[in-house]
Amino acid sequence: MKKAIYPGSFDPITNGHLDIIERSAKMFDCLVIGVVKKSSKSCLFDEIERKKIIESSIVDFKNVEVKIFDGLLIDFVKKENANIIIRGLRVLSDFEYEFKMALMNRKLDDEVTTLFMMAHEKYTHISSTLIKEIFSLGGDVGDYIPDDVTKKMKIKIDGNRKK
């Protein structure tokens, strides 16, 4: 069985992420979306919320599951008995960072391969960080995230403003 891991913070999941998930799900018997528990990024949603949001966005994918992990990605990959890491690339600067990470992961375990997938061109200019910023300032991000995610962001941001 060919099993791959697609790791990330997914805060929030975007249509760009879903595009990578859809294409990866066609290539592998099993795809695990690895939601990193502690991100170096400032997260709007905690890991449990992110997992639930992703699960509600991928109900049509029967060979995709979502798991939370903490620590080294390579340890999570081994624990899942996978040997492929999926990484999405939008722009050249993504490649430089991801290339370094792929080399380090190969050094940690040379049985694990990183597969780079180019984002669909209609999503190359977006990121979860940009989505959060535009949304929090009242901008329309409906073309870039599922409707359910928009609703959850509104609830979360409105709740944070009341604090």
* Predicted pLDDT at 157: 84
- Catalytic site includes residue 127: no
* Predicted pLDDT at 133: 93
Contact (Cβ atoms closer than 8 angstroms) between residue 131 and residue 10: no
Contact (Cβ atoms closer than 8 angstroms) between residue 15 and residue 88: no
pLDDT in tens, 19-63: 999 999 999 999 999 999 976 778 999 999 999 999 999 999 999
- 68 strand-pairing partners: 35
7 torsion bin: left (phi>0), alpha (psi -120 to 50), beta (else): beta
- Catalytic site includes residue 132: no
Closest by CA to 161, choosing from 141, 142, 144, 138, is 138
- Catalytic site includes residue 106: no
- Catalytic site includes residue 93: no
Catalytic residue (choose from 90, 106, 120, 156): 90
Q: Which amino acid is at 35?
A: V
Higher pLDDT, residue 157 or 86: 86
Catalytic residue (choose from 24, 50, 128, 132): 128
Catalytic residue (choose from 9, 17, 87, 152): 17
Catalytic residue (choose from 2, 26, 41, 79): 41
Dihedral sign from CA coordinates of 125, 123, 34, 46: positive
- Per-chain mean pLDDT for the chain: 93
CA–CA separation, 1 and 159 (whole Å): 44
* Predicted pLDDT at 163: 61
Q: Which domains are seen in the chain, by residue range?
A: 3-162 (3.40.50.620)
> Residue 161 pLDDT more than 80?
no
pTM: 0.92
Confidence band, pLDDT 50/70/90 cuts, at residue 74: very high
